[in-house]
Structures are given as structure tokens and as C-alpha cells.
Amino acid sequence: MPVRTKVDRMSLTHTPDIIVIGGGIAGLSAAARLAPHSRVLVLEAEEALGHHASGRSAALYEPYYGSPAVVQLSLASGDYFRSIPGVLAPRGMLLVGREDQRAQFDSDLVRMEFDRVSLDEAVAMFPILNRDVAAHAGYAAHAEDIDTDLLLQGFAKTLRGAGGEIVTKARVSTIARTGAGWRVTWPDGEAEAALLVNAAGAWVDEVAKLAGVQPLGFVPNRRSMARIPAPGGLDVSNWPMVFGPGEDWYCKPDAGALIVSPAEEHPMEPHDAWADDMVLAEGLARYEEFVTEPVTRLLSNWAGLRTFAPDRSLVIGRDAREPAFFWLGGQGGQGFQSCAGASQLAADLILGAVPELSASLVASLDPARFG
């Protein structure tokens, strides 16, 4: 083991126990859970927290959406969300389909625990539904809005309150193994810690490569969003979120306007994503088919990357070959709704506590499943 001199140590700007790379919901929630027990440093490349996927979501808590493991994590997150006033608010979710979409509609209805409702009931909830097109409707009350900013800033506050540190504009550029752990550098700082938590969102595999750890094959997928004025000038605030079958579009009230997504999954390299005009136009056309009010203009648009592991479940655990490297990736399209359960599990595994989640669920999230 190389002997570190006093001068070497003094050049370090930080000496925490744990370095978390990524200031999105994954990194901040895990850091907040760890901070009461360890000295934690969060490094975020951008100037603002939640700049990438975490600042671009649809902000929905729909616990039955995702792989079976994700569903369990999302269900396990509910109590935590409900313990903080204002994090969840009622929304509800409406599924609509054409006559020829019956098979997909029926499958979505069962998988996401919707109840079938009549078209009259659907129109009462979503007055612009086009009855000439929609033939089937289902409703689920269990979908709720998440105040994502409240959640994100809440975790950041908890972390700082427990003595943890966040450094922004700190894009990690080198990660070197030392005898005791890792030495991490960014343009104007460096730190050493025994454990590295990789919560870099779309960049998780890039961070692994920097550390000399085998990447696991994560794929960032772009999803775009358009924000349009309230259709027909109506009050949309109590409308449910509305989905087309097979999730080929959705819309959701958003502060007096409506967000509409083509719900695409287009694989791409990690980058600061933006919406593709053609994809948006096609998605808006799918939405417009089901409504009586045309889209006349866009207020804004954006896109984010939903990053999936090969089996579309989260990856939470120490690397099989490099135990000082902890993976917290693959949040896909459920990173907010699963964050309380996922971060608690990450903290339990790191701190050596027995997880409350079942052993089979923990094993299904372990990076060792990729061999």
C-alpha cells in the first residue's frame, strides 16, 4: 500500500467517509440516509441539484408501475412520503383506449390495477375526452402527484443538517484506487473516502469506467415532454393523469397547464437531453386523437433520460468484484416514486443493518445478478 505523506493529505479538499457521485434524487436521498451515521460528501457536476432526470420528471407516484422489484420499492416508499406533509397530493389516473386497442387496454388495466369505468364517468373526469374515439376507460385512484422539489430539497436539507456536504460544479474527472479506498478529483477539488456511491444517473457506467469497475450495461432512454395551455381555457387542476394504452402518450395537469408526453423510449448516450421536434409532434398527434380540443401552441418543451439496467430493475449494492464501489443506478422512469425505499436499502447495506425489505427483493436488486 502506498504511504501517503502529510503534504499529500493536506492537498485534499475533503476527507469524508463516503463520497456520493450525483446530486439527483438517487444520490441526495441515499446521502441523507447515510449522513447521521457517516461523514458524507455529495459531488454534483452541474451548478444546480436535480439538473438532469430529476428536474424533468412527470412527478407521479404510481406504485404499480414498473418491474415487480420496482413496484415493491415504490410501495415501500409510500409511508415515508406520507410522513412529510405536502409531498403527495391526490391525482388519479385514467386509461383510455380505442376499440381496436382492446387487448393492450385489458392488459394495462390488470397490470396497473385500474378499475373499468364507463365513458360517461371518464368524460366527467376528463371533459375533453373524444367519445367518438375512446371506446374503453379505466380509473385508478392510487396515483398521486409527488412534489419532487420538496422531496429533493428535503433530502438536501436533511443531509446538510446532519453535517453532510454538497459540492456543485464538481464534475468528477478521475477516480483512483488507494490502499484505503478512493481518491476522487474534480476541477477544483479532490477527496479521499473509503466508499464510493455511484448515483450518476445516465452516467453510472461512465463513472464505473473512471473507477476501473466493469460497467453493467445501463441504457439511458430519452423521454420528451410538451407543456401546453389548458385546453379550451378549462380548469384542469382536478383532471386525472390520462394514458393511452401501451403508454404511447400521456397527459397530466401541471400548475394550470397540461404536460403531454409522447412517452418515447429512445436509447442514447448520456448527455443533456432535449426534445426532438418530430417525436413531440407525433406524440401530440396521438394525444389529440383522443381529445376534442386541438393543440394550438406549446408553452415549453424538454426531455430527460430514463436510465435502465438490462432487466429494468434498480441496481442497489456493492460491486461484486470491488466492494468499495456501491451501485445506485437504473432508476428508469420510477426514480422518485421508489427513492425512499431504494435509499433506505442502500443505507442499510452500506451501514451493515438488516434491510426491512425481503431477502429475495434485496437479491433481485444486487449488482451480482449480472454475473
Residues near ligand FAD, by CB under 6 A: 21-27, 43-46, 50-54, 56-60, 170-172, 199-203, 207, 223, 225, 304, 306, 331-337
Contacts of 3 (CB under 8 A, 6+ apart): none
For ligand FAD, the closer of residues 54 and 67 by Cβ is 54
For ligand FAD, the closer of residues 136 and 139 by Cβ is 139
| Shortest CB 276 distance to ligand FAD, Å | 13
For ligand FAD, the closer of residues 136 and 279 by Cβ is 279
For ligand FAD, the closer of residues 52 and 183 by Cβ is 52
Sort strands 241-243 and 189-193 into parallel, antiparallel or unpaired.
Answer: unpaired
| Shortest CB 321 distance to ligand FAD, Å | 21
The closest of 274, 282, 332, 325 to 304, measured between CA atoms, is: 274
| Shortest CB 33 distance to ligand FAD, Å | 14
For ligand FAD, the closer of residues 202 and 365 by Cβ is 202
For ligand FAD, the closer of residues 5 and 83 by Cβ is 83
Report the side by side order of strands in the sheet with 88-90.
Answer: 60-61, 144-146, 88-90
Distance of alpha carbon 281 from alpha carbon 339, whole angstroms: 32
CA dihedral of 106, 365, 15, 354, whole degrees rounded to 10: 110
For ligand FAD, the closer of residues 56 and 136 by Cβ is 56
Residues 303-325 as b/e (b if ≥16 CB within 10 A, e otherwise) read bbbbbbbeeebbbbbbbbebebb
For ligand FAD, the closer of residues 43 and 236 by Cβ is 43
In this structure, what DSSP letter does residue 320 have?
Answer: S
| Shortest CB 246 distance to ligand FAD, Å | 17
The SS3 assignment for 296 reads: coil
Distance of alpha carbon 164 from alpha carbon 39, whole angstroms: 6
Q: Which phi and psi angles does 219 have, rounded to 5°?
A: -125, 115
In this structure, what DSSP letter does residue 322 have?
Answer: -
8 Å CB contact between 40 and 165: yes
Contacts of 52 (CB under 8 A, 6+ apart): 24, 46, 201, 202, 272, 273, 304, 305
8 Å CB contact between 60 and 143: yes
8 Å CB contact between 259 and 245: no
| Shortest CB 100 distance to ligand FAD, Å | 27
| Shortest CB 197 distance to ligand FAD, Å | 11
For ligand FAD, the closer of residues 91 and 136 by Cβ is 91
| Shortest CB 59 distance to ligand FAD, Å | 5
| Shortest CB 359 distance to ligand FAD, Å | 25
| Shortest CB 221 distance to ligand FAD, Å | 9
Sort strands 165-167 and 40-43 into parallel, antiparallel or unpaired.
Answer: parallel
